[in-house]
Amino acid sequence: MRLHREGTATILLVLAFCCFAGFAALHWLPSVAAWPLVALFAGLLGVVIWFFRVPPRKPVPNDAVVLSPCDGKVVVIEEVEEYEYFKDKRIQVSVFMSPLNVHVNYHPINGTTAYRQYHKGKYLVAWHPKSSTENERSTVVVKHPVHGEVLVRQIAGALARRICTYPEPGGAVVQGTELGFIKFGSRVDLFLPRTASIAVKIGDVVQGATTVIARQNT
Asked if 33 contacts 82 with a C-beta cutoff of 8 angstroms, the reply is: no
What pLDDT sits at residue 38?
A: 93
List, for residues 127-172, the tens digit of each pLDDT value.
Answer: 555 556 667 889 999 998 877 899 999 998 656 567 899 999 999 9
pTM: 0.87
CA torsion 97-99-100-102 (nearest 10°) is: 60
Q: Where are the domains of the chain?
A: 2-54, 65-215
What pLDDT sits at residue 79?
A: 96
Active site residues: 186
Instruction: For domain 65-215, give the CATH number.
Output: 2.70.70.10
What pLDDT sits at residue 5?
A: 87
Ranges of residues in the chain with a pLDDT under 50 are none
What pLDDT sits at residue 27?
A: 86
